[in-house]
Amino acid sequence: MIRIIAGGKKNTEWVQEAVSEYEKRLRKPFDLKFEFMEEDKLNKRLADWPFSGREFVICCDERGKNISSDEYSFMLERAFLDSRDVVILIGGAYGFDDAVRAKSDFVWSFSKLVFPHMIARLIVVEQVYRAQEIARGGKYHHE
């Protein structure tokens, strides 16, 4: 299972509809669990770094590394093979501070563009689905 911890408000109806469409298609270990919290509460929680090292923590941040969908799929598969729980952090409007990025296993930038946090959630879910399909050799992803 992949746990997504997201700052900011819960998904609006249109985002939730789109996210749900992808969630229906996900199979273990690519299935998701969302945890929403207000941005300040998320930042306070992350200041104490609640992760043990068993998790593979991906921080979504515009200052991160841009990778291909194939590389992302391989990264998730590697974490699963290493028996690590995958946690994806999505910040609110103000993102994450340097300490969170430094402690994360990977800092992922979708592009040089900046996206609202709700759209970032949708991008993450679609890319998890794409990673699943790449891993299983499905037809969804093609080059």
* pLDDT tens by residue, 74-107: 999 999 999 999 999 999 888 899 999 999 999 9
> How much helix, strand and coil, in percent to the nearest 5, is found in the chain?
45, 20, 35
- Whether residue 45 contacts residue 91, with contact meaning beta carbons closer than 8 Å, is answered with no
What is the H or E stretch that residue 62 is in? Answer: strand 55-65
- Whether residue 65 contacts residue 106, with contact meaning beta carbons closer than 8 Å, is answered with yes
Lowest mean pLDDT among 32-36, 115-119, 127-131: 115-119
Q: Does the domain formed by 2-136 have CATH 3.40.1280.10?
A: yes
